[in-house]
């Protein structure tokens, strides 16, 4: 999504803003801009294109002198990517400048009202409405004008605002879209996300909904939408700077793939105590766990795929009915959540608009929501009734890998905890499963060491047009993620199919040489999947198989086999996904794609 950086202090603002925006590029954007007070007026420079264009336009910020400024990288929602639609937006006299992340849902009626009062618009954006509306309410008191706008505006916004008549302050405002502020001895900062200001400070404040922050060079004040001053506690970020750098890998995605053993360990081990699973943050007693009648899992993208995996495991291990839905469907279909239904939302960023809306919809219907979230202090983390963190650390690559793996671990733990409490898993089986979980990090490490072999295989498919991933049960969920990894970073069309469903139409697409990746880790379904492999092979497919060590029968039907180490059938997703992540990665690298920042995608989809 959009990136926001603001600065006020002793240093020149433009270089600080450019540096901060560069750390937010991963969020996906199509244009960039800055506003800096030069001692007399607000100077604004903005353009469509990468941040480099803005850097060149301003000679690294040198042509924009001044110690007070706001900057922005835009991911278009209203109005095509263009210079004029780029942020900052400003009022006619250019005395008020605004940068915005989010969507103003009632911008059209507000725009009509402002036009009727003589305001002229130059862009197609919803954000420009904010600039003119602040102007409309501004009578010399910035805070008063801002809070009046907050009462009028509907939708989501993270704002950076500056006033030419008040060059000793900048403002940060938040509703739904994430925003933080921080301070060091040189000044105060606004940012959409931690990496933007980690270089300057580790102590940050997460702005809550409907809060306003007035930042001066040496201090900050926090207010409610009713202009009441409040105090807030800072959060100390313990991510080291390298965590947001590539650490020697060619891409963040590869680095994060190699962090998966640690991600799994960090998410798993703190919750295993004396051979039992302890999920303190679950906030549920054993009786409450026993009383669960149904679980609804809601998420988007890869997080949704972990939910599909979890359905098979929770229903198998705990015998609780599970329904899984993509958040963008759930939130609008008037979901029927009967008494005793537990809702689980899964989100790496904790800011995905559809998932956040699904959380709110569930709570409105009177149900408690458990969030499985990676980003501490994110909106979903703060609004869920209980939060189970996936301690994967900052995930920069748009295509998720380590956070996905951590989500799986969280869901395994939940399934086992529920199964044990509800008497569905005996002690011996429980201990065996715990031992299998503890082996996953080293098994993932072993699979990652296979990367050269996968790279050689992937190089054969950089020219592929269609790739299919098939599987049954948990293998179908694995296929979904394998397919998404390939298509979102290599731009090759791919789809995942329930292996048993292929013959009901899609098999007609299989031609000579079509690559079909068959995932066959569920021994109970192995023979069935084997038949499906024979079916596609008979129609000319080249079959890549991913299966458990020892299943050598598969070599009768597969052209290329990747074996994964033995583990409990419920946990094979954590292993089978590794070669599929590597496959997608190396095909994308072979095609010269922008692996960490794929076209059209954003790391955090904070708009509908």
CB of 350 to ligand AGP, least distance (A): 7
Quickly list H helices, 246-326: 252-258, 260-268, 286-290, 301-317
CB of 585 to ligand AGP, least distance (A): 12
593 catalytic? Reply is: no
Q: Which is nearer to ligand AGP, 112 or 594 (CB)?
A: 594
Residue pair 4/71 in contact by the 8 Å Cβ criterion: yes
Q: Which is nearer to ligand AGP, 307 or 441 (CB)?
A: 307
Copy the structure tokens of residue 77. Answer: 């929602």
Q: Which is nearer to ligand AGP, 390 or 547 (CB)?
A: 390
Q: Is 467 helix (H, G, I), strand (E, B) or coil?
A: strand
Cα–Cα dist 379/370, whole Å: 13
Residue pair 277/438 in contact by the 8 Å Cβ criterion: no
- Residue showing the smallest CB distance to ligand AGP in the complex: 301
Copy the structure tokens of residue 440. Answer: 């996953």
User: Phi and psi at residue 91, in whole multiples of 5°?
Assistant: -80, 175
Q: Is 100 helix (H, G, I), strand (E, B) or coil?
A: strand
Catalytic residue among 46, 148, 255, 603: 603
Q: Which is nearer to ligand AGP, 123 or 306 (CB)?
A: 306
Copy the structure tokens of residue 498. Answer: 């329930």
Helix (H) / strand (E) containing 361: helix 353-364
Q: Which is nearer to ligand AGP, 82 or 386 (CB)?
A: 386
Q: Which is nearer to ligand AGP, 73 or 400 (CB)?
A: 400
Copy the structure tokens of residue 538. Answer: 């008979």
Residue 453 burial (CB count, 10 A) = 13
Residue 276 burial (CB count, 10 A) = 14
Residue pair 203/234 in contact by the 8 Å Cβ criterion: yes
Residue pair 458/254 in contact by the 8 Å Cβ criterion: no
Q: Note if the bond before 490 is cis, omega within 30 degrees.
A: no
The 8-class DSSP code of residue 332 comes to T
Q: What does the CA dihedral 270, 349, 400, 364 come to, rounded to 10 degrees?
A: 90
Q: Which is nearer to ligand AGP, 475 or 488 (CB)?
A: 488
CB of 299 to ligand AGP, least distance (A): 6
Q: Which is nearer to ligand AGP, 302 or 362 (CB)?
A: 302
Q: Which is nearer to ligand AGP, 44 or 264 (CB)?
A: 264
User: Phi and psi at residue 292, in whole multiples of 5°?
Assistant: -65, 130
HSE-up of 469 (CA within 13 Å, CB side)?
A: 28
Catalytic residue among 2, 188, 300, 593: 2
Cα–Cα dist 165/204, whole Å: 28
Going 590 to 596 to 597 to 603, the CA torsion angle's sign is positive
CB of 486 to ligand AGP, least distance (A): 11
CB of 378 to ligand AGP, least distance (A): 9
CB of 88 to ligand AGP, least distance (A): 27
Q: Which is nearer to ligand AGP, 38 or 156 (CB)?
A: 156
Cα–Cα dist 516/502, whole Å: 11
**Cβ-based burial of 94 (10 A; exposed 0-12, middle 13-18, buried ≥19):** middle
User: 467: Cβ–Cβ under 8 A, 6 or more apart, which residues?
Assistant: 461, 483, 486, 492, 493, 494, 514, 515, 516, 517
2 catalytic? Reply is: yes
Q: Which is nearer to ligand AGP, 146 or 587 (CB)?
A: 587
Residue pair 478/309 in contact by the 8 Å Cβ criterion: yes
CB of 144 to ligand AGP, least distance (A): 36
CB of 494 to ligand AGP, least distance (A): 13
Q: How far is CA 494 from the centre of its chain?
A: 21
Copy the structure tokens of residue 297. Answer: 């899992």
**β strands within 487-541, DSSP E:** 493-498, 515-520
Cα–Cα dist 362/336, whole Å: 10
CB of 591 to ligand AGP, least distance (A): 17
Enumerate binding residues for ligand AGP (CB under 6 A). 300-303, 347-349, 352, 355, 398-400, 488, 604-605
CB of 604 to ligand AGP, least distance (A): 6
CB of 603 to ligand AGP, least distance (A): 7
Copy the structure tokens of residue 301. Answer: 């993208």
Q: Which residues are catalytic?
A: 2, 603
């Amino acid at each position: 999504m959009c990136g926001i950086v603001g600065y006020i202090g002793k240093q020149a603002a433009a270089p600080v803003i450019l540096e901060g925006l560069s750390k937010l590029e991963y969020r996906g954007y199509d244009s960039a801009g800055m506003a800096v007070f030069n001692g007399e007026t607000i100077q604004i420079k903005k353009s469509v294109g990468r941040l480099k264009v803005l850097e060149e336009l301003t000679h690294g910020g040198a042509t924009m002198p001044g110690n007070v400024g706001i900057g922005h990288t835009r991911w278009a929602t209203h109005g095509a990517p263009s210079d004029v639609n780029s942020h900052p937006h400003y009022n006619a006299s250019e005395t008020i400048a605004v940068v915005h992340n989010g969507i103003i849902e009632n911008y059209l009626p507000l725009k009509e009202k402002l036009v009727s009062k003589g305001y002229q618009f130059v862009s197609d954006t919803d954000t420009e409405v904010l600039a003119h509306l602040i102007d409309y309410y501004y009578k010399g008191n910035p805070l008063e004008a801002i809070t009046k706008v907050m009462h009028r505006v509907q939708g989501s916004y993270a704002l950076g605002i500056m006033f030419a008549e008040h060059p000793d302050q900048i403002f940060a405002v938040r509703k739904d879209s994430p925003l933080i502020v921080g301070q060091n001895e040189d000044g105060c900062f606004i940012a959409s996300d931690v990496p933007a200001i980690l270089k300057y400070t580790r102590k940050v404040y997460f702005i809550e909904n409907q809060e306003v922050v007035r930042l001066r060079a040496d201090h900050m004040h926090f207010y409610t939408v009713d202009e009441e001053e409040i105090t807030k506690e800072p959060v100390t970020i313990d991510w080291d700077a390298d965590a947001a750098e590539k650490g020697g890998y060619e891409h963040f995605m590869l680095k994060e793939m190699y962090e998966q053993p640690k991600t799994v360990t960090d998410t798993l081990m703190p919750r295993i105590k004396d051979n039992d699973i302890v999920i303190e943050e679950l906030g549920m007693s054993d009786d409450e766990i026993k009383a669960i009648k149904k679980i609804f899992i809601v998420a988007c993208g890869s997080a949704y795929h972990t939910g599909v995996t979890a359905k098979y495991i929770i229903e198998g291990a705990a015998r609780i009915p599970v329904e899984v839905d993509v958040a963008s469907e759930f939130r609008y279909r008037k979901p029927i959540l009967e008494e005793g239904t537990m809702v689980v939302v899964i989100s790496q960023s904790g800011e995905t608009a559809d998932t956040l809306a699904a959380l709110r919809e569930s709570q409105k219907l009177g149900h408690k929501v458990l969030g499985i979230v990676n980003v501490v202090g994110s909106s979903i983390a703060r609004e869920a009734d209980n939060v189970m963190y996936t301690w994967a650390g900052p995930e920069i690559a748009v295509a998720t890998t380590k956070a996905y793996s951590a989500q799986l671990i969280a869901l395994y733990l939940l399934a086992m905890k529920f199964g044990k409490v509800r008497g569905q898993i005996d002690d011996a089986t429980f201990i065996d499963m715990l031992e299998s979980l503890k082996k996953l990090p080293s098994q993932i490490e072993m699979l990652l060491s296979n990367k050269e072999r996968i790279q050689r295989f992937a190089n054969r498919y950089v020219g592929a047009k269609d790739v299919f991933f098939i599987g049954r049960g948990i293998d179908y969920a694995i296929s979904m993620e394998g397919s998404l990894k390939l298509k979102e970073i290599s731009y090759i069309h791919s789809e995942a199919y329930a292996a048993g469903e292929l013959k009901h139409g899609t098999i007609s697409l299989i031609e000579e040489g079509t690559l079909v990746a068959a995932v066959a880790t569920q021994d109970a379904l192995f023979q069935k999947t084997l038949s499906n492999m024979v079916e596609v092979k008979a129609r000319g497919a080249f079959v890549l198989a991913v299966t458990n060590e020892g299943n050598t029968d598969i070599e009768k039907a597969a052209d290329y086999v990747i074996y994964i180490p033995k583990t409990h059938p419920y946990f094979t997703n954590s292993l089978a996904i590794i070669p599929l992540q590597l496959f997608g990665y190396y095909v994308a690298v072979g095609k010269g794609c922008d692996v960490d920042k794929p076209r059209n995608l954003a790391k955090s989809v904070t708009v509908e």
